[in-house]
Amino acid sequence: MRSNFVKPDMEDLILDATDRLLARYGYRKMTMDDLAAEVGIGKGTIYLHFRSKEDLIYALIDRVIRGVLERLQQILRSISSPAEKIREMIVLRVMYRFDSVQIFPESLSEMFRDLRSGVLQRREDYFKEEAKLFAAALKEGQRVGIFRPVDCSATANTMLAATNSLLPFHLSTHELGKRSDIERMVAQIADLLLYGLLQPGVKSKERRKLRRKRRQSA
């Protein structure tokens, strides 16, 4: 038996093991006994941290989204131009989720169908937090004069809606397609959205900067 872990470390160990078991068995077949054996602890220890299998799954989803939000905040604080930030943020929000669940054989919708109402409510809360960060980047672009005067909150929500179909929720990552194809598609969507936002006088300059950024990250 493992012992002497501080609470956050133990919770991460349990969630890491949950990731592995979901990939191996799927949600319905995974049991708390399996999880205890995978971590190397007693089942009672799991219940000290998570009251049920459902709470465990919600915590796992929350951990992924915390990662998304942290990365979006890092981009927002970076020295990149507002247009570059928006593009990176759009690509990141899709690809981070894709990479986090690509080991799962099922879509999240199938895997967590028993928890659908709770998952859907969480998604709405997550999207609201993401939209705030996108709106902040849009406002920055307006302040420096490269974005047209638009409603930043409404435009942020439109950006999320434009790429939500690429999130691995209703389809598994295998059904969505190759990672490289998904990344290319979401980048194209980002470019189209940005082209509509840029002020006429800065379109050529910003498009050159974005192309240069793409080549550097390729």
pLDDT tens-digit profile of 174-204? Answer: 778 888 999 999 999 998 999 889 888 775 6
The architecture in CATH of the region 52-217 reads Orthogonal Bundle (1.10)
pLDDT at 113: 76
Residue 13 has pLDDT above 90, yes or no: yes
Q: Nearest Cα to 127, choosing from 103, 161, 98, 99? A: 161
Domain covering 1-50 assigned CATH 3.40.50.720 in the classification: no
Q: Which of 12-21, 151-160, 199-208 has the lowest mean pLDDT?
A: 199-208
Helix pair 53-77, 82-101: axis angle to 10 deg: 160
Supply angle C-alpha 193, 199, 203, rounded to 5: 75
Residue 1 has pLDDT above 50, yes or no: no
Query: How many CB atoms are located within 10 Å of the residue 161 CB?
Result: 11
What distance separates the 2 farthest-apart alpha carbons in the chain? 65
pLDDT at 45: 92
Long-range Cβ contact pairs of 7-12 (< 8 A, separation 24 or more): 7/49, 10/41, 10/45, 10/49, 11/49, 11/50, 11/59
Q: Residue 6's pLDDT band (boundaries 50, 70, 90)? A: very low
Bigger pLDDT: 206 vs 18: 18
DSSP string, 19-84: HHHHHHH-TTT--HHHHHHHHTS-HHHHHHH-SSHHHHHHHHHHHHHHHHHHHHHHHHHSSS-HHH
pLDDT tens-digit profile of 33-67? Answer: 999 999 999 999 999 999 988 888 889 889 999 99
> 86: burial class by Cβ within 10 Å (0-12, 13-18, 19+)?
buried
83, 114, 115, 188 from 213: Cα distances, Å: 11, 42, 40, 14
* % of the chain with per-residue pLDDT over 90: 53
Domain with CATH 1.10.10.60 in the chain: 1-50
Domain with CATH 1.10.357.10 in the chain: 52-217
Question: What does pTM read for this prediction?
Answer: 0.84
